Amino acid sequence: MGSPSDADYIASLARDEGRTTLSAVLLHYGNLLMGLAWLAAPALVPGPQGLRRDDRRSADGALGHVTVAGFVLYDYWTAAIGRELPAGQAEDLFGIVQANPGVGAVGFATLFGLLGPIVAVAALARAGVVSWWLLAPAVGCLVASAVLTFEPLLYAGFAVVGAVPLAVVGLRMIQRRRAEAAVAA
């Protein structure tokens, strides 16, 4: 299992500025786009009943992803204190910021980003819109990120693989649009 210590987390981000920057940029924009995309997912569920029922699940995923998009920008700050301050000072400053109630609230909201898409995929699978196998990448990446040592690019990779369900949902939306256009023509 990865070390949950603040010192290890700070060191992992400070180790390579380029990797941390790439990871943060990909995670920021990827989560922002995924959050917005989840808002459209309920349109795939047939009938107005299904749409209303799945709006909430998709909104939870959207909220979480948009929150994560902002929270990931915190990585730049964490990496900078790890590079610019002695390890003890960096850890103390990180601890002070982590203790802020606002950071705790944002951290809690990110749980929706982790769990919301899993619930949304399950709802879409139950509605017959997507296959149940789509839960595997979402759940697998969540579990792997909980048990493996934090490395910026590894976690960016988890985000990419974890986005497979949303990519499939996007493809379903394109297929539906094409089918509707063919019927209208």
Please write the tens of the pLDDT for every residue from 5-64. Answer: 888 889 988 998 898 888 888 888 888 888 888 888 877 877 765 555 556 667 777 777
DSSP string, 75-103: HHHHHHHHHHS-HHHHHHHHHHHHTSHHH
- Asked if 127 and 46 count as a contact pair (C-beta separation under 8 A), the reply is yes
Q: What DSSP character marks residue 148? A: S
pLDDT value at residue 156: 79
- Asked if 136 and 84 count as a contact pair (C-beta separation under 8 A), the reply is no
pLDDT value at residue 30: 82
Q: What DSSP character marks residue 131? A: -
The label of the residue with tokens 């649009």 reads 177
pLDDT value at residue 50: 58
The label of the residue with tokens 């910026």 reads 152
- Give the helix ranges, DSSP H, for the chain: 6-14, 17-38, 47-71, 74-84, 87-98, 101-126, 135-147, 152-162, 164-184
For the chain, the domains span: 6-184
Can you tell me the distance from the alpha carbon of 172 to that of 60, in angstroms, rounded to the nearest whole number? 21
Can you tell me the distance from the alpha carbon of 60 to that of 111, in angstroms, rounded to the nearest whole number? 9
User: Could you give the 3-state DSSP secondary structure of residue 165?
Assistant: helix
57: phi > 0 → left, psi -120 to 50 → alpha, else beta; which?
alpha
Please write the tens of the pLDDT for every residue from 127-179. Answer: 888 999 999 998 999 899 888 887 777 887 888 898 898 889 889 888 888 88
Instruction: Report the greatest alpha carbon distance in the chain.
Output: 68
- Asked if 42 and 55 count as a contact pair (C-beta separation under 8 A), the reply is yes
pLDDT value at residue 55: 63
